[in-house]
Structure 1
Amino acid sequence: MFKRVFAYIATLLPAVAMAQTPAEAFMINGKLSQVKQSYKVYLSYQSAGKSVMDSTVLVDGAFMFTGKVPAPTGGLLLVDHEGKGFPGFSRTGDVLSFYVDKGSMFIAAEDSVAHSQINGSAINTENEQLSAMLAPVYTKAQSLAAEVQKATPDQQRSPVFQNTMQDKFKALQKDREAKLKEFIVSHPYSYLSLMAVSSMGGPSADVNVIEPLYNSLSQNLKDSEAGKQLKDSFAPLKATAIGVMAPNFTQNDVDGKPVKLSDFRGKYVLLDFWASWCGPCRQENPNVVRVFNKFKDKNFTVLGVSLDRPDAKAAWINAIKEDGLTWTHVSDLKFWNNAAAALYFVQSIPQNYLIDPEGKIVAKNLRGAELESKLIELLAKATPVAKKSE
């Protein structure tokens, strides 16, 4: 649970879109007005998918870096006051996290780049605005991390604790996405907006949410290489979007008998992608077991698809027994090359899709109490209300 929450918190940071476009020149000039020592200064950034490390020495507090980048990219600037070198730097040291972009920018400060002002860079000005908008979310994320750290191992294993943390994360994720949407709509010409769209929802994003945001961006952004790549990523998402028919597939169960997803037509089905080696999956299993036992006699079932390795059939079967997963399980035992997982664009697990009796996807990635709440909502709609007798 501890690792999983921190993985969730990591998703709060906007993703950087990668683009294979011609590199353009940048120049970074800086001045620390009150520093006279010849400290070494390091610049680290990504260019065309490769890590770049550059360094120089302060001369009367001044420094300069030049290079080329194909698109705005995250960079780190470090002033080495203690002579430890870049490998020995700490986030609490004199470090500035910013965007390296084409053109010229000037970084001004008195004695620390960590407290500097960046001039001449639109994307860094916009990033300051977005960071201010997201600051309350980051503060809540830090509190959530502290809450997990304080919990005992027994508490962390508790389904109640896990469900509580998941609910808090979901609320945090919604806050983050609301702030990102606000920024995107108000900054349609910003490359940062393109990156923000690409960061929303993760590998199983709801294309019904992110595509309209993408369409609201300027034509120049959409025509960029990164914009084209983002648009291309919508196709597999649309194939498994909420409201579409769930792609059918056939895989063998634990006894080697072929099972089709369509065999479960007429019931609500939770299509659950997991694996015996996946810690977060195993931690989530008690919640799925609880919900399955509660609704299995109410037109609901689960179909588990395992991403176990070719030589791990025994581990897969043992995990099913150990976790009490009494529903149908299938797998082609091809690890991340599982054919059903590829069909559903699964890039991380656990991942699930809730499918209605007609075979349409009605929800995805339901965790803990969310799954139960959604089933209660759907089954209530599906249950005809008895007419009162005259």
Structure 2
Amino acid sequence: MKVLSFVLLLLAVMHCAQAQNPAFQIKGKIKGLQNTEVYLAHYFGSSQQVIKDTAQVDSSGHFVFEGNETLDEGLYLVSFNKNKYFDLVLGNAKFSFETDTSDVVGQMKVLQSPENEAFYAFQRDMTSAYLSLQTKKKPEQIRTEMAVIQQKWIKDHANLFVSKLIQASLEPEIPAYTKPVKTSKDSSDLYKYQFTYYKKHYFDYVDLNDERFIRTPFLQKKIDKYFEDLVVQESDSISKDADVLLHGIKNQAMRKYVVYKIASTYENHNIVGTDGAFVHLAEKYYIGEPQLWDTTTIRKMKERIAIIKPLLIGKRIPEMFLTDPAGKLLTTSAIQANYTILFIYDPDCSHCKEETPKLLKQDAYFKAKNIAVLAACLVRDKVMWKKFIEEFKIQHWKNGIDIHINAKTGKEEYYTDFQKTYDAYATPVVYILDKSKNIIGKRIPVDKIQDFLKFYESKRK
């Protein structure tokens, strides 16, 4: 009993010590706010915020965020009154601040946090400088002088993370082009020079090995803009530029974040064929660098690669074995046509019912171009299948269902896992096949099929 009492006493003392010395404690006072809740969250990319704590505001606007779990450093936000918020930089997680809802930046006073003192001083200084210059200078002069003030501030506060945050918003400054520009070729050379320099130096102002940037909106925005505006949207180009970017990232948390952001962008991208970049990234940085990921993530990635890789643009589509309405075998390879539209649908799916008439309206175009439509029913229900065919009057299409009668037993057998073999996780799914049944397009909106084929044929001329 004495031993047990001692253990309980020790635990009580430890709990008391933790309560008196929390891992983080942020005391706030917001004038104009009372008897409500406020939230402390950190950014995770540009579109997500992760709530880390909630505090109750008293009648005089006071509240405290605190806890025994250490908070990761980065840019946080304090959210109040539904859609209103302001930012705080968390490095030292024990400080206090006071402000007013009527002017959060102007009235912000911070104690024991050099990062946040500098952060809000910078905002006030820049606003003041802008208002002062606005009355005396032209827009171009204002931009130039503001840039000088900003650069000086960054240099004077180089030891602060705030300085890195502000620097991350800067664009590369392209040196003057020294050659004469007189002809169209000269203009083309000038553009090439500017584009090449800008792309090469695009990430100069972001420390790609400082994982605090994961908890800011800046990194994801930079990555998104880089791959949307500066990278050719073809699988090989995306893969190459991703490799170049990741080559310089050694910090594991940052490496993991960047790989995830790029790979998830191209797994189901709206530009045809870019999922090849996803396969490249998944094989090289998920499977190839298992130390970055947990075993569940690696297993799921292997499963996803196994589905997507055989369905990349240029690959021959896996043979489909179906039964037609007459009970005969229907296969993809047996279809003789210049192109084949593979339309995988669920007869009970409302979206499929919307898209089928749109596809049907193109019959004249399909006939003129010798294009066949193979409509594969994903649901193994003959009644629903035949009702769908009759309702939408698609008897002239190649209609098939994955139900096969075993000649010996007379029982029904199924050959195809549509989700695993054709990535049919949502319906309808559209594949466009060439004469040899190679995939040339996939997940093309039904009303964009003609535009796609015109573009495809124009590239081959």
Q: Distance in 1 between matches of 2:218 and 2:333?
A: 50
Match 2:432 to one of 354, 364, 374? 354
Measure the CA separation in 2 of the matches of 1:290 and 1:201. Answer: 31
Alignment match of 1:268 (pick from 333, 336, 339): 339
1:292 and 1:301 in contact (8 A); partners too: no
Alpha-carbon distance between aligned partners in 2 of 1:314 and 1:203, rounded to the nearest angstrom: 33
Secondary structure at the residue paired with 2:375? strand
What residue is the counterpart of 2:212 in the other structure?
122
Matched AA of 2:355: E
Instruction: Name the SS of the counterpart of 2:385 in structure 1.
Output: helix
Q: 1:131 to 1:345 in 2, by over 3 A?
A: same
Query: Given the superposition, is the C-alpha separation of residues 41 and 348 from structure 1 closer, same or farther in structure 2, using an over 3 Å criterion?
Result: same
Partner of residue 323, structure 1:
392
* Alpha-carbon offset, residue 294 of structure 1: 1.0
8 Å CA contact 2:316, 2:439 repeated in 1 = yes
Q: How far apart are 1:62 and its partner, in Å? A: 2.9
Q: 1:212 to 1:179 in 2, by over 3 A?
A: closer
Match for residue 194 of structure 1?
259
Match in the other structure for 1:375: 453
Q: Unaligned stretches of 5+ in structure 2?
A: 1-21, 43-49, 106-115, 120-160, 163-209, 226-232, 404-411
Give the superposed CA RMSD: 5.3
1:247, CA displacement in angstroms?
0.4
Deviations along 1:11-48, one digit per CA (max 9) or x if unpaired, are xxxxxxxxxxxxxxx96654545358564345799xxx
Match of 2:30 among 16, 31, 34: 34
Counterpart in 2 of 1:342? 420
TM-superposed deviation, 1:372: 0.8
Distance in 2 (alpha carbons) for counterparts of 1:199 and 1:305: 29
**For 2:328, which of 257, 261, 279 is the aligned residue?**
257
Structure index of larger Rg: 2
The percentage of aligned residue pairs carrying the same residue is 18
Structure with bigger RCO (C-alpha 8 Å, 6+ apart): 1
3-state SS in 1 of match to 2:391 = helix
Task: Letter of the 2:65 partner, please give it.
Answer: F
Q: What count of residue pairs does the alignment treat as equivalent? A: 294
Change (3 A) 1:381 1:43: closer
Change in CA separation of 1:133 and 1:242 when aligned onto 2, cut-off 3 Å: closer
CA contact (8 A) 1:222 1:228 kept: no
Give the drift of 1:328.
1.5
2:168 corresponds to: none
Counterpart residue number, 1:10: none
CA distance in 2, matches of 1:371, 1:228: 35
**8 Å CA contact 2:53, 2:65 repeated in 1:** no
Q: Distance between the aligned counterparts of 1:223 and 1:362, measured in 2? A: 34
Q: Which sits farther off after the overlay, 242-251 or 285-294?
A: 285-294
Q: Write the distance in 2 (CA, Å) between the matches of 1:296 and 1:29.
A: 72
Check the 8 A contact 1:37/1:61 in 2, yes or no: no
Distance 1:37 1:276, change over 3 A: same
Alignment partner of 1:348: what SS? coil
> Does residue 238 of structure 1 match 2:238?
no
d(CA) in 2 for partners of 1:210, 1:227? 15
Q: Is the 8 A contact 2:55 2:64 kept in 1?
A: no
Secondary structure, counterpart of 1:200 in structure 2: helix
SS at match of 2:309: helix
CA contact (8 A) 1:353 1:365 kept: yes
> Which deviates further from its counterpart, 281-290 or 313-322?
313-322
Give the aligned residue type for 2:264. S
- Residues 66 and 237 (structure 1), Cα distance of their counterparts in 2 relative to 1, 3 Å cut: farther
Contact 2:239 2:277 in 1 (8 A): no
Task: Report the alpha carbon displacement of residue 351 of structure 1 after superposing the two structures with TM.
Answer: 1.4
Match of 1:63 among 56, 62, 65: 65
Whichever residue aligns with residue 130 of structure 1, its letter is Q
Of 352, 373, 376, which aligns to 1:302? 373
User: Alpha-carbon deviation of 1:64?
Assistant: 2.4
Q: 1:211 to 1:249 in 2, by over 3 A?
A: closer
In structure 1, distance between residues paired with 2:281 and 2:391: 44
Aligned-residue offset at 1:243: 1.0
Per the alignment, do residues 61 and 354 of structure 1 end up closer, same or farther by CA in structure 2, a change over 3 Å counting? same
> Which letter does structure 2 place at the counterpart of 1:323?
F
Q: Give the deviation of 1:298 after TM superposition.
A: 2.9
**1:263 alignment partner, SS class:** coil
Matched ranges for 1:64-79 at <5 A: 64-65=66-67, 79=80
Q: Which amino acid aligns with 1:248?
A: E
> Structure 2: how far apart are the matches of 1:181 and 1:77?
39
Query: Aligned to 1:210, which of 260, 278, 281?
Result: 278
Q: Is the 8 A contact 1:211 1:234 kept in 2?
A: yes
Partner secondary structure for residue 293 of structure 1: helix
Distance 2:350 2:67 in 1: 44
When residues 215 and 328 of structure 1 are mapped into structure 2, their CA distance, relative to the original with a 3 A threshold, is closer
Q: Is the 8 A contact 2:39 2:78 kept in 1?
A: yes
Task: Decide whether aligned partners of structure 1 residues 307 and 111 sit closer, same or farther in structure 2, where only a CA change above 3 A counts.
Answer: farther
My pick for the range that moved more, 236-245 or 29-38, is 29-38
Report the residue type matching 1:62 in the other structure: V
Q: Secondary structure of the equivalent of 1:228?
A: helix
- TM-score, normalised to structure 1, is 0.56
Structure 1 CA distance, aligned partners of 2:93 and 2:380?
Answer: 50
How far the C-alpha of 1:237 sits from its partner, in A, is 0.7
Shift of 1:309: 6.0
Q: Distance in 1 between matches of 2:439 and 2:259?
A: 28
Q: CA deviation at 1:134?
A: 5.9
Letter in 2 for 1:40: E
Distance in 2 (alpha carbons) for counterparts of 1:243 and 1:286: 29
Superimposed CA distance per residue, residues 225-279 of structure 1 (whole angstroms, 9 cap, x where no aligned partner): 3873575222211111111111012122334433122221554211111222222
Q: Is the 8 A contact 2:268 2:275 kept in 1?
A: no
